[in-house]
Structure 1
Amino acid sequence: MTITTCIFDAYGTLFDVAAAARVVAEEPGREKLAAVWPQIAADWRAKQLEYSWLRAVAGTYVPFWEVTKDGLDWAMERAGLQDDLELRERLLALYWELPAYKEVPFMLAHLKAAGKNCAILSNGNKDMLEGAVDSAGVGTYLDALISVDKVETFKPAREVYDLVGARFGYAPEEVLFVSSNGWDAAHAAAYGFNTVWVNRMGLPMDRLPGKPGRVLSDLSTIPELV
């Protein structure tokens, strides 16, 4: 069946989540952060995801922005920087301006030229996604920004993936779902989507019921698949 719709995860897939810590670490007077920014970036992302899963299981949903702040607070405390409130605010501000990976505009432009629907399906709340999309300048290529806020739970809950069909009206087999999270691509595959795992870090395959249909190192060849 022909692929009609290309759905992308946002954070880590289209947008570089490590950029906030990396950029701030390069600013004058940020020597303490410069020494630990890779750890903070990794811990921030790990806790952001862990807290979303735990909240989904426990039924204690809050918007992803609250999860993002909680994850940063944990990461900063682990690095001994929890008292630097100005640094915290600076890092959080830049999370609304994450850059897209360099291949993203070209890739999306080619998909739209081929007549494909393109959208984001993300844990991020709508205003977070709008900020990242506007900052990266890729809004013209996207038909929808779909947030889990509509169902008040997080990926990989099935009701999150249901949002794609509700928005576009296509069967799962007509959808190409792309994520940099192996667990997300695996669950999307089990749901019935065609899937691509963008494995930028060369990680092992997750041991989960579903398996991504393709594994790529970046997004540049996505248009060739559809």
Structure 2
Amino acid sequence: MENSIKAFVFDVYGTLFDVTAIKKECEELYPGYGEKISQTWRSKQVEYFMLRQLMGNYATLYAITHDALKYALNENDLQASKENEQKLLDAYLHLPLYSESKEVLTQLKDKNLVVFSNGSHDMLDPLVKNAGLEELFDQVLSIDDVKQFKPTPASYQYALEQLGIESHEVLFMSSNGWDVSGAKSFGFQTAWINRKGMPVEELDLEPDYIFDDLTGLLKWK
């Protein structure tokens, strides 16, 4: 199966970019609360897009990220000024790459490299551009084009149609266990970038590969 791969498809948040780094900006604006805000913000972001998917009430990830931030601030009884909210939302467009991300992508640049994210283009495209990754990717795909969040089968079907290949010819990478499980269930080959040393999800959908970080992908160099 390793030799059948025709597209290397990357999730973004937590996979290429460190979303936990947002706690620095949170701490600067709300001293003593950076860790709490950032953790709730991320967990509510994921919870809200999954709830909206279940309810059939779509909103872009940018809008959802804003709502999740407001919840995180309210949870901690913090003043949610428009100025502070915008500063934190802008920080999401400048998230830092993990230390190995750009080097691994550069070494794999002769492959078909693709971004596939729940991020809407209004936050995804600036993020990729600000990190200097535009030239490394052949395609940047957003579920906003079909308004079906991962891990729905319809979201992965959209990506597959854009790639124009068979499902088993895709190697999908994510640090999110739920995303890897969804991709595996759909029929993609999967590589779980298990940065936190977490156990495999109990969904009877074992990842094809498990790596501590993206350097494990260099076996396909």
- TM-score normalised by the shorter chain: which range applies? over 0.9
Tell me how many residue pairs correspond in the alignment. 219
Counterpart of 1:137, as a letter, is G
Match of 1:74 in 2: 71
What runs of 5+ residues in structure 1 fail to find an aligned partner?
none
2:47 corresponds to which letter in structure 1? E
Which residue is 1:21 aligned to? 23
The CA distance in 1 between the partners of 2:213 and 2:76, in whole Å, is 30
2:156 corresponds in structure 1 to 161
- State which of 170, 173, 177 in structure 2 corresponds to 1:178: 173
Q: Distance in 2 between matches of 1:61 and 1:147?
A: 14
Cα deviation 1:5-62 (Å, max 9, x = unaligned): 000111111111122331452x4xx4xx231211211111110000111111110001
Of 171, 195, 209 in structure 2, the residue corresponding to residue 200 of structure 1 is 195
Select which of 47, 50, 62 maps to 1:50: 47
Deviation at 1:225, TM superposition (A): 4.3
* Aligned mate of 1:187, from 174, 177, 182: 182
**AA of the residue aligned to 1:36:** Y
Instruction: Tell me the amino acid that sits aligned with residue 146 of structure 2.
Output: V
Aligned to 1:61: 58
CA distance in 2, matches of 1:200, 1:214: 13
User: Match of 1:217?
Assistant: 212
Contact 1:21 1:91 survives alignment (8 Å): no
Normalising by the residue count of structure 2, what TM-score does the alignment of the two structures yield? 0.93
Distance (Å, rounded) in 2 between the aligned partners of 1:184 and 1:120: 14
AA matched with 2:78: L
Gap regions ≥5 residues in structure 2:
none
Counterpart secondary structure, 1:220:
helix
Deviations along 1:115-159, whole A, 9 cap, x unmatched? 311111111111211111011111111011111112112110111
> Counterparts of 2:103 and 2:178 in 1: how far apart (Å)?
26
Deviation >4 Å, runs of 4+: none
Aligned CA-pair RMSD: 1.5
Percent of aligned positions that are identical:
38
Query: Do 2:170 and 2:188's aligned partners in 1 also have CA atoms closer than 8 Å?
Result: yes
Distance 1:106 1:58, change over 3 A: same
Shift of 1:178: 0.2
2:15 partner letter: T
Match among 135, 142, 166 for residue 137 of structure 2: 142
With normalisation by structure 1, the TM-score equals 0.91
Find the aligned partners of 2:157 and 2:80 in 1 and give their Cα distance.
42
Counterpart selection for 1:39 from 36, 39, 49: 36
Q: Measured at CA, do residues 83 and 105 of structure 1 come closer, stay the same or move farther in structure 2, by a change above 3 Å?
A: closer
88-97 or 43-52, which deviates more: 88-97
Which residue pairs with 1:107 in the alignment? 104
Task: Tell me which residue corresponds to 1:8.
Answer: 10
User: Is the 1:24–1:90 contact (alpha carbons within 8 Å) kept by the matching residues of 2?
Assistant: no
